[in-house]
Amino acid sequence: MPVSRRSLLAAASAVPVLGLAACFSEGSDGAGASGRLRVAHMLPPRSGLSPLTDDAFKLSRWATAETLVVLDADGNALPWLATEWVQDGPAWTFTLREDVAFHDGTAFTAEAVVNSLTVAAQAAPKPRILDGVELTVTADGNTVTVTTGEADPLLPHRLSSPQLSILAAKAYRDGIVDPVGAGTGAFVLTAVDGTVSATLDRNDDWWGGEVLAAGIDASFVPDGTARAGKLRAGEADIVESIPVSQASLLEPDQITEVPMPRTCTLYLNCSAGPFSDPAVRAAAREAIDAASIVDGVYDGRADLAEGLLGPAIPWAAERAGRTEPATAAPATGTAITLGTFTDRAELPEVAQVLQQQLQDAGFTVELDIREYANIEADALDGAFDAFLLSRATVLDSGDPVAYMYSDFASDGSFNLSQFADDGVDAALDTAAATEPGDERRTAVLAAETAILNADAAIPLLHERVIQGDAAGVTDSRKDPRERELVGPETRLA
């Protein structure tokens, strides 16, 4: 039987699930319903807000584009635009919600779902949640069947990724995906001014119920000091990613600090240059004192990394860690180039500390620091010996396998380390094929150990998200996965 609104409310009362209880609140007095929310974001759109890219997470944080499935706080899959699903080998059949319309007035149908998912599956590059996954989608009445090349126990979780949002047919034109006026969510995206701003209005016909704020006026403010300054000056109501250096300058009740599944990691180029030698990679690992970075750069507002996965994933504490680390070689006179980007305020300073630590161990280190949009292509092409990145580890599916596959599989789409290892590939394949639960978690930790043993990347610390809210803001989302920010219940008092 399809899952009802009452069923979703029951789930929401059991665990803090994506603010669902607030989403479906029937008793709101409408306070602040006429106010618009001014939101300051860290990163501007990189791909015209295409949901096939990381821009998808802006669409989800604005509650404008929606997916078939959502995740609860523990990473379990729950119904959203799909009400139920059933698996038959490699095929999963999803029953669709019937009371939904797109923002352009067209009906939410099985054919629309097929179109959106097929475009994503055939994109080049694919959304990273589909790395290593081949799928076809067919419609039958009010159901869609998603079939993968091999049985995929994680498919519902994959379909929760904002990069697999369902948009109206009008969004897809001439190889471009334009989400303006094409979603199903609580807010309608009405205008985008390049990398400067975006405007959204309340969807009075949202299938989920009442939307309290009149709209969202979003601005993109890459400079962290300027972003925090907008909160201090009363020029923004919600500010994402307050830099650590600015947190102490705000009132305590203006910020919320939450451990998140995001790891600051130094990726080492394993295919060319000095770090193609495992012993030199080991030398870099031994040279780095991450604790001093946590205390000095992050002012203690981060957690020291023991592996790729951090305290936001509690079961990761069961890890074995490195079991067969390579022996370090002397680094005297070894010249390397270390790249990172300015968009995350702490990274340039971390890079400078790493430069000093590595030079103290005998390396010669040249830094290359640019805006992310200007450095990503070079990083993916292996232009650096080392690259410092702040990386979300369960952003897409609530499960680390997609991140590990993307970053460390031989054919991963975000393999900054240019890393290829048959043992790691096999461990990742085993983890991907295992049903969700304890067995899968054990397989994930085995893959993590294999990656750490190879020193393909050196995890430094696990970040905490620091979000700023003005005094009048009620019920903004504090989401460790960075999928949500404004919900239908978010309003100004």
pLDDT digits (tens, 9 = 90+) for 48-70: 999 999 999 999 999 999 999 99
For residue 66, the 8-state DSSP code is: B
Residues 316, 307: contact at Cβ < 8 Å? yes
| Long-range contacts of 243-252, Cβ-Cβ distance < 8 Å, separation of 24 or more | 243/345, 243/346, 243/466, 244/297, 244/298, 244/299, 244/301, 244/302, 244/345, 244/346, 244/466, 245/299, 245/345, 245/346, 246/345, 247/299, 247/301, 247/466, 248/299, 250/468
Q: Which of 66, 81, 82, 96 is nearest to 167 (CA)?
A: 66
pLDDT digits (tens, 9 = 90+) for 222-235: 999 999 999 999 99
**271 pLDDT more than 90:** yes
pLDDT digits (tens, 9 = 90+) for 57-103: 999 999 999 999 999 877 789 999 999 999 999 999 999 999 999 99
pLDDT, position 131: 80
Dihedral angle, C-alpha 43, 48, 54, 59, nearest 10 °: 90
Residues 78, 416: contact at Cβ < 8 Å? no
Residues 467, 255: contact at Cβ < 8 Å? yes
pLDDT, position 286: 96
Residue 422 has a CB neighbour count (10 Å cut-off) of: 8
Pairing of strands 364-370, 335-341: parallel
pLDDT band for 27, please (50, 70, 90 cuts).
very low
pLDDT, position 115: 98
Give the fold, CATH level 3, of 5-221+480-492: D-Maltodextrin-Binding Protein; domain 2 (3.40.190)
CA torsion through residues 436, 442, 443, 444, sign: positive
pLDDT digits (tens, 9 = 90+) for 105-157: 999 999 999 999 999 999 988 898 888 889 999 999 999 999 999 899 889 99
Residues 171, 182: contact at Cβ < 8 Å? yes
How far is C-alpha 29 from the chain's CA centre?
34
Give the C-alpha separation, 140 to 119, whole Å: 19
State how far the alpha carbon of 133 is from the alpha carbons of 53, 136, 482, in Å: 17, 10, 24
Average pLDDT estimate for 465-488: 93
Q: Return the CATH number of the domain spanning residue range 259-465.
A: 3.10.105.10
CA torsion through residues 142, 148, 153, 157, sign: negative
State how far the alpha carbon of 240 is from the alpha carbons of 25, 88, 249, 388, 467, in Å: 25, 41, 15, 21, 5
**31 pLDDT more than 80:** no
pLDDT, position 17: 35
pLDDT, position 482: 86
pLDDT band for 395, please (50, 70, 90 cuts).
low
pLDDT digits (tens, 9 = 90+) for 293-309: 999 999 999 999 999 99
Domain ranges for the chain: 5-221+480-492, 259-465
* Residue 301: φ, ψ to 5°: -90, 50
How far is C-alpha 224 from the chain's CA centre?
19
Which residues is 473 bridged to in the sheet? 492
Residues 6 or more apart whose CB falls under 8 angstroms from that of 213 comprise 32, 33, 35, 36, 37, 187, 202, 486, 490, 491, 492
Q: Scan for tokens 């821009």, then name that residue.
A: 55
What does pTM read for this prediction? Answer: 0.73
pLDDT digits (tens, 9 = 90+) for 442-463: 999 999 999 999 999 999 999 9
Q: Which of 222, 127, 170, 236 is nearest to 486 (CA)?
A: 236
Helix, strand, coil share of the chain (percent; to 5): 30, 25, 45
pLDDT, position 9: 33
Query: Mean pLDDT for the chain?
Result: 90
Classify residue 405 as exposed, middle or buried by CB count within 10 Å of its CB (0-12, 13-18, 19+).
Answer: buried
pLDDT band for 19, please (50, 70, 90 cuts).
very low
